[in-house]
Structure 1
Amino acid sequence: MTSVLTVLSLSLLSLGARAADPLTVYTYDSFIADWGAGPKIKTAFEKRCNCEVEFVSLEDGAALLNRMRIEGSTTSADIVLGMDTNLMKEAERSGIVAEHAVNTERLQVPGGWDNPYFIPYDYGYFAFVYDTTRLLDPPKSLKALIEDRDDISVIYQDPRVSTVGQGLMLWIQKVYGDQSQQAWRDLAENTITVTKGWTEAYNMFLNKEADMVLSYTTSPAYHLVADDDDRFAAATFEEGHYMQIEVAAKSAYTDQPELADAFLQFMISDEAQSIIPLTQWMYPVTDITLPDAFYTLNKPEKSLIYQPDEVMGNRQQWVRDWQTALVE
């Protein structure tokens, strides 16, 4: 392990001397927020590479894919960071990402990892978060929330443009299968609004505009650490929780491929991974010690996930099913 890190450090020093242009990273808004991982990652990497990292932010992972597709060879992106496994195959097929040269032997992702284009940098589980002082009897299953609890209002994100909203779409598809359109119709009766992104939805929830919001099982750790507030919890559902693995890749159009690879390698270093839990509020993908707050969380016993090929082959139809259900 020492030899890998030494080689990385030496290569960064030599690359930095040649890096006249910034390393441009396309990512999403919350990653580069003051409280996000981006600013710390930028500072730490720039110290090692003698280069400049420049972030370009979009709303969400799905927006990253769409932006890269539209720009094609005209893009200024060297790195695209913030898509998840559900979008990987579409990105690969679009030709917007290049194979990396990253040593991934340190990765400890549930289910393992083997992909020549993308590297994971965090993972988590989707969940509906609630305030325990306001909702005293949370639902125990996804079906209970959708079918039985007409006393609970919810906010979730648009699956067309939000990776979080897409996560709910895949979660419902896993649980309901061919009955998913009816599930969407039932959920619509309790839905306050569907937002474009996570930040808008979560802020509305914090402003008490809904009883529950689609987020992550790890979200309560943020309130515990940042606000010393233990009111918030993630409802545990008996069907299991859909897992999200967030990924980064090298742009197929970068003119700094070695520096881009060095950045990707840095993302799975101990230093970068130690930044993830208390900024991304997700689980790291390497074996680092977690903050104490993470040990108070209920980690789902059952993980639900589709293979990237399955999502690519069905995503557009599942989105149409969601749209159809909402207009009927």
Structure 2
Amino acid sequence: MRNHAIATALALALAAGAAVQAETLTIYTYDSFAAEWGPGPAVVAGFKAVCGCDVALVSAGDGAELLARLRLEGARSPADVVLGLDTNLMARAAATGLFAPHGLMLPALDLPIAWDDALFVPYDWGWFAFVHDRALPNPPDSFEALIASELSILIQDPRSSTPGLGLVYWIEAAHPGRAAEIWAGLAPRIVTVTAGWSEAYGLFLQGEADMVLSYTTSPAYHLIAEDDDTKVAAAFAEGHYLQVEVAGIPAAAPNPGLARDFLEFLLGAEVQAILPTTNWMYPAITPTEGLPQGFETLMIPDTTLHFPPEEAAAIRDRAIATWRDALAR
């Protein structure tokens, strides 16, 4: 009887252990977040330490590709969290019906815009900018100055990349009614259009172009991680377009409770403190100790440009068609 009891207890313990081991949080995110040099590994390690679960970080291209993949998979998707959409994609994502309310009471956020959304939780933000070498003679201070120059640029595809889409909206917001004209002028400056940010920035670092579409915070990486102050962001007189990155829970998430725990963790002090020097963006909540040394050197735009999610969704197709037609000529 005693041996039977021991065997039964052991079987129950093994079954319980298997059940715990089987609980895996699956996070869909973009390439640079999941990269070994991105925030993904540290965020996963930190959450695993508090959740007692396993975490699968699935890289699915760039931000816009995340939504495309989720739409393709629909209710069959194994994703518990989609991390890496932004305000330009939020209304489109919400319209799919594939996201559930997060149900969280969010803490006070340090964003340039007010935030009240039931589906998506912001975790970091930044301004788009063209990054160049400090030694570049006469860097442009506007889109028109860039057009008038002989400089070469690298950009991303707005159909797959959130920075690429951000540039489309930046031009629409900075030059209402003149987007086609601006794109026609920029077309000769464009060396190539990449699917995502990583490819474009890598080509820039290899010397393939004078400037690359990135963020005002990108020079912080070179300064802090490489002790290199040779990269700067060009300040444009029209202002710079804002990106707020968000995470959401699919309606068909296998582990919705665990997903909500992760979103709370994402806004916690541990993650918010590492995002500036891993994702190289401003955190949604400024750490108590402030931003890392080096961020005070970054260019701060005089004007923030931004379309609310619904307006961004309404003009998206037209804006992308304007971009496509200009580059096809």
Which residue of structure 2 aligns with residue 320 of structure 1?
321
In structure 2, the residue matched to 1:207 is: 206
- Amino acid in the other structure paired with 2:117: N
The separation in 2 between residues aligned to 1:82 and 1:261, in whole angstroms, is 16
SS in 1 for 2:23: coil
Partner of 2:61: 59
Does 1:141 pair with 2:142?
Answer: yes
Offset of residue 19 of structure 1: 6.7
Distance 2:106 2:21 in 1: 25
Cα distance, 1:256 vs. partner? 1.2
CA deviation vs aligned residue, 1:30-87 (integer Å, no higher than 9, x gap): 0011110100000000000000110111111100011111100110000000000110
In structure 2, the residue matched to 1:26 is 28
Q: For the Cα contact (< 8 Å) 2:143–2:236, is it kept in 1?
A: yes
Partner of 2:269: 270
User: Is the Cα contact below 8 Å between 1:85 and 1:308 reproduced in 2?
Assistant: yes
* Structure-2 residue corresponding to 1:184: 183
Partner SS state of residue 320, structure 1:
helix
Note the residue ranges of structure 1 that are not aligned, 5 or more in a row.
1-16
**C-alpha RMSD over aligned residues:** 1.3
SS in 2 for 1:277: helix
CA distance in 2, matches of 1:165, 1:322: 10
Q: CA deviation at 1:143?
A: 2.2
TM superposition shift of 1:281: 0.3
Counterpart for residue 131 of structure 1: 133
Q: Which residue of 2 aligns with 1:113?
A: 115
Which letter maps to 1:207? Q
Larger Rg: 2
TM-score by length of 1: 0.92
Once the two structures are TM-superposed, the CA of residue 173 in structure 1 deviates from its matched residue by: 0.7
Q: 2:85 aligns with which of 83, 95, 98?
A: 83
Partner of 1:193: 192
Distance 1:27 1:178 in 2: 34
Cα distance between partner residues in 1 of 2:261 and 2:302: 35
Question: Secondary structure at the residue paired with 1:45?
Answer: helix
Show the counterpart of 1:104: 106
Percent of pairs with identical residues? 49
1:18 is displaced (CA, Å) by 5.2
Matched, 1:95 2:94: no
Once the two structures are TM-superposed, the CA of residue 192 in structure 1 deviates from its matched residue by: 0.7
The amino acid across from 2:67 in the alignment is L
1:70 match: 72
- Could you list the per-position Cα deviations for residues 240-286 of structure 1 after superposition, in whole angstroms to 9, with x for gaps in the alignment? 10000000001111121111000000000011100100000000111
Q: Following TM superposition, by how much is the alpha carbon of 1:316 offset from its aligned partner in structure 2, in angstroms?
A: 1.0
Which structure 2 segments of 5+ residues have no match? Answer: 1-18
Query: Which aligned runs of 4 or more in structure 1 are off by greater than 3 angstroms?
Result: none
* Alignment check: 8 A CA contact 2:174 2:305 kept: no
Q: Which residue of 2 aligns with 1:299?
A: 300
Q: Is the Cα contact below 8 Å between 1:103 and 1:265 reproduced in 2?
A: no
Distance 1:101 1:108 in 2: 20
Name 1:310's counterpart in structure 2: 311
Structure 1 19/117 Cα, relative in aligned 2: closer, same or farther at 3 Å?
farther
- Which SS does the other structure have where 1:56 is aligned? strand
- CA shift, 1:326, in A, is 1.5
User: What is the TM-score normalised by the length of structure 2?
Assistant: 0.92
Instruction: Tell me the SS of whatever aligns to 1:125.
Output: strand
Q: How many residues are paired up? A: 310
Distance of 1:21 and 1:48 partners within structure 2: 14
CA contact 2:132–2:210 (8 Å) conserved in 1: yes
